[in-house]
Amino acid sequence: MKYEIIVVGGGHAGCEAALASARKKHKTLLITSNINNIADMACNPSIGGSAKGVVVREIDALGGEMGKIADKSQIQIKKLNSKKGPAVQSLRAQIDKIVYPKEMIKVLKNQKNLDILEGMVEDLIIEEQKIKGVILKDESIILGEIVILTTGTYLKSDILIGDTRTRKGPHNEEPSLYLSDNLKKLGFQIIRLKTGTPPRIDKNSINFSKTKIETGDKIPLRFNHDINYDYDIEKQEPCYLTYTNKKLHQIINDNLTKSSMYGGLADVTSVGPRYCPSIEDKVVRFSDKDRHQIFLEPESRYYDDIYMQGLSTSMPYDIQEQLVRSIEGLENAKILKYAYAIEYDAINPTQIKQSLETKIIKNLYTAGQINGTSGYEEAACQGLIAGINASFKLEGKEPLILKRNEAYIGVLIDDLVTKGVIDPYRLLTSRAEYRLLLRHDNADIRLRQKGYDAGLINEEQYSKFKAKTKNIEQLEKLLKISKLNPTNEINDYLKSINSALIKDGITMYDILKRPEITISKLRQFIDIPFEQEIIEQVEINIKYEGYINKAQKEAEKMIKLEAKKIPENIDYEKIHNLASEAVQKLKQIRPTSLGQALRISGVNPSDISILMIYLKKGDKND
């Protein structure tokens, strides 16, 4: 049995990778340990969030699947930071954990060029540092030209609860016992990471009158750019907000040594997620805080499990009971599933290229939590890029490398391969230096052309995109040629909305730069026959024009450094006056450009200047 591309793992990274390669007409095999767990949402029942929601829009713009399935399966959706600037706005949806995997499996099974096999991959077939296939637990061999590893948290995973360690994966599934050891033998540096999940409680045992209701937005919202899946805004499922308290904090402090992470297990060496800490971490690290938020989130319309966002813990069951019932509104709560922490193996992501191909084994790609990330969205975007680039490799094309000013996906991958990780990586808006360029509203403007060029956007989608860009241009042109004159009617209106009066004629384009003026407020003076999506895009472009231009100029400087390529075979030891730490880091990361080299921790601007001079001399010698 032989395939062009083998994808190992059926999580969010694996689904996107397999669909991308199959849609590009490459014979693809998706291997998963349990078909019923494909696209499983083992932790939070949500997709999106700060920065993450933009990533889902980017996945969709490139031709991935997550946004479409999220729209089909959402039970509540809202735009975060809607009262703040567009640079930090993004969607977050509560997802039905029954519907999402069901819809994804349906898409996978109907996809041409894609087979699905249930099995556990435990070793790789390597010849002359090049992948040739995989070996399953039952010793069967499957050959493939390219292999993409998307193993999630299943590499030698341990479930940690109190003082117990059990070699299991999520849902008490069997983990992969040998693959990470075999990767280590091949030269990969293996790191140990940890994540966790909170308890689930019975909806019917909660006194919601003691909590604050959190509803979805009352306007239609979606991740996907092409199809508007109808949903009843009034029938969205509510979430609820409550808080920890001094009693809960005292229970934790009194029982801290019973937590796996704080003494319950002596051999814990893994590092947990910095930006999604356990409740033990919150109480210890933020001892000055009297309370922490706990969101009660429904997991599905089809059952009554409520996810306790913010109460991740590795405490023993009896302590978890005390913690939950100490919270206001949960005095009689019934725990349906207990919380746990999970340890697992990952690789040091500085050992992969920006294409997500590994530096050690040719034609071997990695994506998702094996690269040290956390989150469904971070996994899915890596899977999509790995699937595209694996296909490009077979087609003899250059890989798709997204720049930091082009996509949050580019920021994520560049951070991984340039800086590595010390804890599970989570994408944040603060990680992007050009976040005003990487907005929710313009994901398709930034990336749809690349998706079309990659062969994942069809002609109908592309035509719709071209029509949108044309409409944006037409509306901007209309606003530039349309003038407001200082008539009594116009000045009376401006006065009524607390806007400065005009003494001379002014274009509608220029008056829109005023923060209190919107296109909707100008409709009485001009016919604007465009959809709200177009109006929103144009309004942001006009109001933030100065900031956007400044960000683009900064990005251009970065692009110039990215254009200065570093030869793959460069010998850093031969470059005089480079700091020893810089030599060490440059040898380890092997940056492809001066821009990437500048972002390596331990490489200073003076080292970049020396490297630049060395490269210029090399060009002259050539």
Beta-strand relationship, 293-298 and 305-309: antiparallel
The number of distinct structural domains making up the chain is 3
pLDDT in tens, 485-540: 999 999 999 999 999 999 999 999 999 999 999 999 998 888 999 999 999 999 99
Q: Are residues 604 and 544 in the same domain?
A: no
The answer to whether residue 384 sits within a structural domain is no
Check which CATH number belongs to the domain holding 329 and give it.
2.40.30.260
Q: How far apart are the first and last CA of the chain?
A: 47
Length of the chain: 622
**Which residues constitute the domain of residue 537?**
462-548
pLDDT confidence of residue 229 = 87
Check which CATH number belongs to the domain holding 617 and give it.
1.10.150.570
The model carries a pTM of 0.95
pLDDT confidence of residue 265 = 65
The answer to whether residue 426 sits within a structural domain is no
* Average pLDDT value for residue range 401-427: 96
The answer to whether residue 124 sits within a structural domain is no
pLDDT confidence of residue 619 = 54
Buried b (16+ CB within 10 A) or exposed e, 603-620: beeebbebbeebbeeeee
112 by DSSP, 3-state: which?
coil
Phi and psi at 345, nearest 5°, equal -90, 150
Q: Are residues 470 and 506 in the same domain?
A: yes
Question: What order do you get walking across the sheet with 74-80 strand by strand?
Answer: 46-48, 90-95, 74-80
pLDDT in tens, 175-223: 999 999 999 999 999 999 999 999 999 999 999 999 999 999 999 999 9
- pLDDT more than 90, % of the chain: 90
Q: Are residues 487 and 536 in the same domain?
A: yes
State which of 342, 366, 401 marks the end of a domain.
342
The answer to whether residue 502 sits within a structural domain is yes
**Confidence bin at 264 (pLDDT 50/70/90):** low
The answer to whether residue 381 sits within a structural domain is no
* Token pair in block for residue 561: 């450094």
Q: Are residues 602 and 490 in the same domain?
A: no
Mean per-residue pLDDT of the chain: 94
* Residue 622 confidence (pLDDT) above 50: no
User: Running DSSP on this structure, what letter comes out for residue 189?
Assistant: P
* Average pLDDT value for residue range 444-452: 98
* Residue 466 confidence (pLDDT) above 60: yes
State which of 489, 522, 548 marks the end of a domain.
548
**Confidence bin at 410 (pLDDT 50/70/90):** very high
